[in-house]
Amino acid sequence: MATLTPTEAAVAASDMRVLHAEPGEYLCRVGRPVTFWFGLIDGLLKMSNDSALGMPITFTGVPPGGWFGEGTVLKHEPYRYNIQALRKSVVAGITVPTFDWLLDRSIAFNRFVMRQLNERLGQFIAAREIDRMSDPDVRVARSLGALFHPLLYPGVGRLLRITQTELGYLVGLSRQRVNQALHTLQDAGVIRVEYGGVRVIDLDRLRRFDPPSTHPLGERLPPPPVRVADVTAKSG
Where does a domain end: 103, 132, 161?
Answer: 132
- Residue 215 CB partners (closer than 8 Å, separation 6+): 221
Can you name the residues that pair with 47 across neighbouring β-strands?
Answer: 60, 83
| Phi, psi angle pair for 86, to nearest 5° | -90, -20
Q: How far is CA 162 from CA 86, 143, 178, in A?
A: 10, 12, 12
> Is the same domain home to 1 and 97?
yes
Write down the pLDDT at residue 188: 92
Where does a domain end: 116, 132, 148?
Answer: 132
Write down the pLDDT at residue 232: 44
| Mean pLDDT calculated for residue range 63-88 | 92
Greater model confidence, 222 or 103: 103
Write down the pLDDT at residue 51: 57
Write down the pLDDT at residue 55: 59
Write down the pLDDT at residue 60: 80
> Is the same domain home to 201 and 191?
yes
Q: How far is CA 57 from CA 7, 157, 169, 194, 222, in A?
A: 41, 27, 10, 28, 37
Write down the pLDDT at residue 231: 42
Rounded to 5°, the CA angle 169-170-173 comes to: 60
Three-class secondary structure of residue 34 per DSSP = coil
Predicted TM-score of the model (pTM): 0.73
Write down the pLDDT at residue 213: 52
Q: How many CB atoms lie within 10 A of CB 229?
A: 8
Report the mean per-residue pLDDT for the chain.
84
> Is the same domain home to 88 and 203?
no
> Is the same domain home to 113 and 167?
no
Can you name the residues that pair with 94 across neighbouring β-strands?
Answer: 37
The parent domain of residue 42 ranges over 1-132
> Is the same domain home to 22 and 112?
yes
Write down the pLDDT at residue 9: 95
> Is the same domain home to 36 and 67?
yes
Number of H helices, E strands in the chain: 9, 11
> Is the same domain home to 127 and 140?
no
| Mean pLDDT calculated for residue range 109-128 | 83
> Is the same domain home to 35 and 128?
yes
> Is the same domain home to 128 and 197?
no
> Is the same domain home to 13 and 106?
yes
Q: Do 223 and 152 touch, CB atoms closer than 8 A?
A: no
Closest CA to 168 of 127, 140, 207: 140
Q: Looking at residue 234, which CATH number applies to its domain?
A: 1.10.10.10
Q: How many CB atoms lie within 10 A of CB 126?
A: 16
Q: Looking at residue 3, which CATH number applies to its domain?
A: 2.60.120.10
Report the domain count for the chain. Answer: 2
Rounded to 5°, the CA angle 59-69-143 comes to: 25
> Is the same domain home to 122 and 167?
no
Q: With left for phi above 0 and alpha for psi between -120 and 50, is residue 25 left, alpha or beta?
A: beta
Write down the pLDDT at residue 50: 66
Where does a domain end: 113, 132, 151?
Answer: 132
> Is the same domain home to 196 and 220?
yes
Write down the pLDDT at residue 223: 45
Q: Residue 216 — very low, low, confident or very high, per pLDDT cuts 50/70/90?
A: very low
Please say if the pLDDT value at position 143 is more than 50. yes
Please say if the pLDDT value at position 215 is more than 80. no
Write down the pLDDT at residue 129: 66
Please say if the pLDDT value at position 187 is more than 90. yes
| Mean pLDDT calculated for residue range 130-141 | 78
Q: Residue 56 — very low, low, confident or very high, per pLDDT cuts 50/70/90?
A: low
